[in-house]
Amino acid sequence: MRGIEKRLGEFQAQGVVPVAISVDPPNVSEDLRRKAGLTFTFLSDPKTDVIRRYDLLHSGGGPEGHDISRPAEFLLDRSGVVRWENFAEDVRVRARADQMIAAARTLQ
Amino acid sequence: MEDISQKPSHRALWLGLLFTMLGPISNGLYFLGFPASAVVWITVLLPAVGLTLVLIGLRRAFGQSPYRDKVGGAIAVALSALVLAASVGVFVLSRRLPQPSTGTPQMGQRVPDFTLPDSAGNPVALSQLLAGSNAGGPPKGLLLVFYRGYW
């Protein structure tokens, strides 16, 4: 998240808008945004409706066995079609901002 | 000062302990800008090398008679084994993730629309973000980042 924020200007230059999604309720996301100085949009899916629809549910993956989202990134073009995607194999290894900006450059 | 090169078992034990201790410390490489994909392997490889060296040292210690430091060697093995077990445990748990399946949006597929509240509690639709209703024209694309959450 901080990697994206740090290079937000480059995403904007490519015309790409980052959007973060998790089970965190809005107030938790707002806390994170404020503490970490994140300015892009955070969406909340506490009931995992969208996470399930995207088949990204990590059942019991959260503390006390809460259902959460597995880490994943999708780059959509202007019509909402997936042009690049990444699924972390290790929760500690996320897509790097470099990779995502390189993918953003390929968008028409 | 003692010349440890005269005692190959000591040298292997100490070197092994050093590698073992570098294992947990190597997590810090991530913050120094090393790629996380490499760091997660290093955190396991270092204690694995450490335990191997310690075991070599212990074998040598038992091979030498009379040798005084069998207890120290055993403690070193226990410590190294513990650190390695913890490192492997974290590694395995971090990789225990459901694999993306056929229901996951594939390359070239249009993703389903949805509406979710933003961090201010206002409902935001994906279609609305694609249309660029906030400022300027429509964006060239959206980067959806699903993350585990900070709870």
The DSSP line for A38-81 is: --SEEEE-TT-HHHHHTT-EETT-SGGG--EEPPEEEEEETTSB
- For residue B82, the distance in angstroms to the closest alpha carbon of chain A comes to 22
| CA Rg value for chain A | 14
Taking CB atoms and an 8 Å limit, are A59 and B120 in contact across chains? no
Q: At residue A80, what are phi and psi to the nearest 5 degrees?
A: 85, 15
pLDDT tens string A11-55: 999 999 999 999 999 999 999 999 999 999 999 999 999 999 999
Residue B49 falls inside a structural domain: yes
| Residue B135 predicted with pLDDT over 80 | no
Measured between beta carbons, the chain A residues lying within 8 angstroms of B39 are 92
Residue B67 falls inside a structural domain: yes
pTM to 2 decimal places: 0.86
What pLDDT is stored for residue B53 in this prediction?
94
Q: With beta carbons less than 8 A apart as the criterion, state whether A74 and B144 touch.
A: yes
What pLDDT is stored for residue B132 in this prediction?
84
Measured between beta carbons, the chain B residues lying within 8 angstroms of A58 are 97-98, 148
Residue B103 falls inside a structural domain: no
Q: Are residues B81 and B20 located together in one domain of the fold? A: yes
Query: CATH homologous superfamily of domain A2-105?
Result: Glutaredoxin (3.40.30.10)
| Residue B3 predicted with pLDDT over 70 | no
How large a percentage of chain B has pLDDT more than 90?
A: 64
Q: Are residues B71 and B127 located together in one domain of the fold? A: no
Taking CB atoms and an 8 Å limit, are B35 and A56 in contact across chains? no
Residue B102 falls inside a structural domain: no
Q: Are residues B74 and B133 located together in one domain of the fold? A: no
- Segment A58-81 mean pLDDT: 93
**Partner residues linked to B116 by β-bridges:** B124
Q: Are residues B47 and B78 located together in one domain of the fold? A: yes
Q: Domains of chain A: which residue ranges? A: 2-105
Q: How confident is the model at residue B33 (pLDDT cuts 50, 70, 90)?
A: confident
What pLDDT is stored for residue B4 in this prediction?
47
- For residue A92, the distance in angstroms to the closest alpha carbon of chain B comes to 7
Q: Which residue has the higher pLDDT, B65 or A45?
A: A45
Q: Which residue has the higher pLDDT, B4 or B46?
A: B46
Domain around B8: 4-94
Taking CB atoms and an 8 Å limit, are A74 and B40 in contact across chains? no
Q: Are residues B73 and B36 located together in one domain of the fold? A: yes
- Segment A48-69 mean pLDDT: 93
Q: With beta carbons less than 8 A apart as the criterion, state whether A93 and A73 touch.
A: no
Measured between beta carbons, the chain B residues lying within 8 angstroms of A34 are none
Q: Are residues B9 and B62 located together in one domain of the fold? A: yes
- d(Cα A71, Cα A99) in Å, to the nearest integer? 15
Residue B149 falls inside a structural domain: no
What pLDDT is stored for residue A2 in this prediction?
87
Taking CB atoms and an 8 Å limit, are A62 and B101 in contact across chains? no
Residue B106 falls inside a structural domain: no
Q: Are residues B77 and B129 located together in one domain of the fold? A: no
Q: Which amino acid would we find at residue B5?
A: S
Q: Are residues B14 and B48 located together in one domain of the fold? A: yes
What pLDDT is stored for residue A63 in this prediction?
85
User: What is the total count of domains within chain B?
Assistant: 2
Residue B76 falls inside a structural domain: yes
| Tokens linked to B69 | 């430091």
Q: Are residues B9 and B49 located together in one domain of the fold? A: yes
- d(Cα A99, Cα A95) in Å, to the nearest integer? 7
SS3 letters for A83-105? EEEEECCCCCCCCCHHHHHHHHH
pLDDT tens string B9-25: 688 889 999 999 999 99
pLDDT tens string B86-133: 999 999 999 999 988 888 999 999 999 999 999 999 999 999 999 986
Q: Are residues B15 and B76 located together in one domain of the fold? A: yes
Q: Are residues B71 and B119 located together in one domain of the fold? A: no
Residue B21 falls inside a structural domain: yes
Q: Are residues B77 and B36 located together in one domain of the fold? A: yes
Question: Cα dist. B144→A32, A42, A100, B11, B15 in Å?
Answer: 17, 10, 11, 52, 46
